[in-house]
A = this chain, B = another copy of it.
């Protein structure tokens, strides 16, 4: 998968990952890798800034915790985040349908 393909859809992926419950950044990375069957290997330089962006936007809320001397910042969806996820889902469906329609071969008279 080309690196930039996810562009514009990463927020949706992260929000969906957090839908099931609060997670810290590293765990989001792992969850995304797993739920994508290994296809999504988010570098930390993509993930952490994205999470902060989502927080600035009010879609997630974060909280520091110390677990065994290790600091963890756990992220949790806000109500606005849930609404944003709904929007992202329907936008994805629209977008996918459009691309699918254009890409589908054999629509021409040929």
Instruction: Convert A1-21 into 0s and 1s, putting 1 for each residue whose CB lies closer than 8 angstroms to a CB of B.
Output: 110111111001100110111
Who on chain B is nearest to A13 by CB? B102
- On whether the beta carbons of A102 and B19 are closer than 8 Å, the reply is no
A-B contact pairs, 30 of them (CB 8 A): A1-B94, A1-B98, A2-B8, A4-B7, A5-B8, A5-B95, A6-B8, A6-B95, A7-B7, A7-B8, A8-B8, A12-B99, A12-B103, A13-B102, A16-B102, A16-B103, A19-B105, A20-B107, A21-B108, A32-B102, A35-B102, A35-B107, A36-B98, A36-B102, A37-B98, A40-B98, A88-B103, A89-B103, A92-B103, A96-B99
